[in-house]
Amino acid sequence: METELEERGTTFYGGDAPGMVDYMIWPWVERARVPSLIDGEDFDFPKDKLLKLVVWKNEMKERKEVKDTIMDPQIQATFYKGYFTGSTEPPKEEGKSRLYSMNFCPFAQRARIVCNVKKIPHDIVNIDLKNKPDWYFKIHPKGLVPALDLEGQILVESLDIAEFLDEKFPDPPLYPADPEKKAKDKELIGKFGKLTAAWSVALHSKDDTTSQENPITNALLNMETELVKRGTTFYGGDSPGMVDYMFWPWVERSRVPSLITGEDFDFSKDKLPKLLLSAAEDPWLDLSHVGESSLSQQSDNGVQGLLSCGDDMVSRQQETVSSLVSQFVGVGEWDT
């Protein structure tokens, strides 16, 4: 990288101002000392051989767009140590709640969405569910996600977390004010377990997923019928409510089983018009979106937790689909 910078004869790889190259390599330069801090064996970079790179680093860290993202190497090292068994929990930031999550867990995504909707300042610690750190069992005795540390109070179970936050932070309300309508929404969420079960069955099943009897399709048709009955864009009315947010993670993942098995099926827009429309209209859902290709690739290779966020790590995770299924079934409160 030093040689390339010398050949370009500029302060940044992008010229007089940072460009794509600068921004893409910065995170690794910022973390360059983290491995040595974790191992306890410090080392220095040969600054006399990296003169241009040292100047580049000093210039980059003063750029506002970069400066706002910088974290002290010692803190980063502590965070990385927190991912491993026998480690200590990453340090907390004052004034923020903490959500213990996992990127590909639909239950954890529920909690992430509601925290976003309620605009609760929080950080996220993703738990490696294949290699759970010892300290996490002090947070959640069963080692499941999600769990929310809210001002020292630990909340578990995605629906319980969502309902607690809705009561404590009533703006915007996620349930109708009318008691009868609220009870109806709670009943619908209770029935929602059929879709989560169908998703698991579809992952296990060797049957043709293109069939009209596909359990996921049938579950979605039932949800479509309910939305038609309500005559609104969302289950919550003109804007999403508790039903919408509790339902969303499985709609996002609804095609994943077919992508894993290689037997694709499409949701018929003529049969699910209301459902497909409502799924595209809320900005909070974009903030929690994982993406089908990411989900199916992670599913096919096996999920190892937070460290699976790197492309190289993904390519090394060559586990079976059955291993993945057990991961997702055990990832949250799947049996509730």
Q: 335 burial class (0-12, 13-18, 19+ CB within 10 angstroms)?
A: exposed
List strands edge to edge, sheet with 122-126.
122-126, 97-101, 147-150, 153-156
Contacts of 233 (CB under 8 A, 6+ apart): 274, 277, 278, 281
Q: How far is CA 211 from CA 13, 201, 207, in A?
A: 53, 14, 8
Catalytic residues, by residue number, are 105
- Strand duo 147-150 + 153-156: pairing: antiparallel
For residue 76, give both structure tokens.
């980063």
Q: Are 305 and 87 in contact (CB under 8 A)?
A: no
